[in-house]
Each structure stands twice: as structure tokens, then as C-alpha cells.
Amino acid sequence: MSDRPPATALIETPGAVLSRTDLRDLGWTRTQVDAIFRALDPIFIPGTRRPVVRREDYLDLLDRSTYRDDHVRATG
């Protein structure tokens, strides 16, 4: 069993990093997870195989990608 907090707790934790698995646990499909990692600057720690993204970068991407009446809907 992992001591790692669940993805829902990581979203609430400033400074946390999110893995592909965390994003899947949050409900994103593999295609969406791939797009999120392409849109952000993933972190690759030497000696590890799995990149992560910063929580704040992820939340900023969601904010920028969310359609609202005050800005134009993103396409593509």
C-alpha cells in the first residue's frame, strides 16, 4: 500500500506534483492526460522514469481552458 495521498488530496495541496496516474484518478482519459502533459512543462527527475506536473500549472491550465462568457472558447 502506498503512503502517497490520493489525487483529490494533492489538488488541495500547494506545491504538490501530479503524475499521469493522479490525472487518471481525477477522471481524465489517457488522451486527455497526454494532452495535459503536452500543454505543460513536465518535470523529469534524474533516475526516475515517470514525469510529473506541478499542481499549480495544472490548475492554471484548467482555468485557461475553461469556457466562460468573458473570453473566447479555446479550440484545438
Boundaries of every domain in the chain: 7-65
At 37, list the grid cell.
502533459
pTM, rounded to two decimals: 0.85
For the chain, the average pLDDT equals: 91
pLDDT tens per residue, range 15-46: 999 999 999 999 999 999 999 999 999 999 99
Q: Judge whether 31 and 20 are in contact, CB under 8 Å.
A: no
Contacts of 52 (CB under 8 A, 6+ apart): 17, 18, 19, 42, 43, 45
Length of the chain: 76
pLDDT band at 67 (very low <50, low <70, confident <90, very high): confident
Contacts of 61 (CB under 8 A, 6+ apart): 36, 39, 40
